[in-house]
Amino acid sequence: MHSKIHWALAVVLAAGAGSAAAEPADWVRGTLDDACDVTDLDFSDARHGFATCMFSDVMVTGDAGVNWHVIHTDLAQTLRWARAASDQVLYAARLGFYRSDDRGQTWSELGGLSSSDDSIFDAHFFDAQHVSLLKGADLYYSENGGESWDMVYQPPQNVFFDKLHFPNADIGFATGGISSSEGTAGFVARTADGGRSWTLLDFHGGRIYASDFFDADHGIVATQDSNLYTTVDGGGSWQLLGAAPNGDLLLDIAHRDASHWYAVSATGGLYETRDGGVTWETGYQTPDYDALAAVTIAADGAVVAGGNSGVLVYENRVFRDGFD
């Protein structure tokens, strides 16, 4: 119980903390060889990364995010989700679920999901064969690497999700929400069997735009009204923490451990805490306040964030000072 209280208190303090500046050299702009508005990022190892972009483009890096090569695909859609299974095997999704075996040069669809118009927002690989996927408002499951899919959960009307998080092989969370003229509403669902069945939980905050779960019990969500909420009991209850860093609309959150985590925002802020949320610093701010849509952590490597106008920033201190 003491650890749960300490964790929640740390995040509560974060909501009211000020924002200090990081060292200027901590975050460095990556270089792109063409235009790309990033929608999602993933790394297969410390050096090899993959990003999806607007207008059916993708891009790859082989040096931890310092330099990126943009590839124009023939998928004819803005891709929303990226996975780097290896330096060669990549997955992307929007209307359909696609795989490339040649580092993004050619793509093939798996599972026929593009036959419906709903967008694929997120997916999670448990291993090479078992995959949980979110398309439209519905949750799917595959036991053959995406070759075929079973719909495993269809939520009530006007309940929508757009993020998946699995802190372990059994426990997972789907988060999202809806905005209307009457306001916004957030939603959370939980699985305890690795994505094969789901239960809708009670959540009384606004539409959830960003979320992260450190383990099966502890998680944070950020809502459209720039508030942070936390749970210490696996989504059974939620506590309002207060405003997000700088009162910003957070679009993605990633954690290195329970103390050290990152967030990116709709106005191009990259925020960081090293003390479990007690204090925040602004690590990077895009010059024209272009949105940062995604943040990810390369395996044993740097944090990389990407967004509009081809903005890619990587955590230079990992290479400058060594990784601790």
Query: pLDDT tens, 63-112?
Result: 989 899 999 999 999 999 999 999 999 999 999 999 999 999 999 999 99
- The percent of residues above 70 in pLDDT, for the chain, comes to 88
Q: Are 167 and 213 in contact (CB under 8 A)?
A: yes
Question: What range defines the domain where residue 145 resides?
Answer: 2-321
- Using pLDDT thresholds of 50, 70 and 90, give the confidence band for residue 15: very low
Domain count of the chain? Answer: 1
pTM score, two decimals? 0.89
Is 90 exceeded by the pLDDT of residue 25? Answer: no
Query: pLDDT tens, 244-289?
Result: 899 999 999 998 888 788 999 999 999 987 876 567 789 999 999 9
Please give the Cα distance from 55 to 73 (Å, whole number).
9
Please give the Cα distance from 218 to 229 (Å, whole number).
11
Say which DSSP state 26 is in.
G
Please give the Cα distance from 296 to 168 (Å, whole number).
18
CATH of the domain at 78: 2.130.10.10
Average pLDDT score over residue span 130-138: 97
Q: Are 70 and 59 in contact (CB under 8 A)?
A: yes
Contacts of 127 (CB under 8 A, 6+ apart): none
Query: pLDDT tens, 163-186?
Result: 999 999 999 999 999 998 888 999
Among 112, 218, 222, smallest CA distance to 162 is for 222
Q: Is the alpha carbon torsion for 142, 147, 150, 153 positive or negative?
A: positive
Name residue, tokens 């931890």: 64
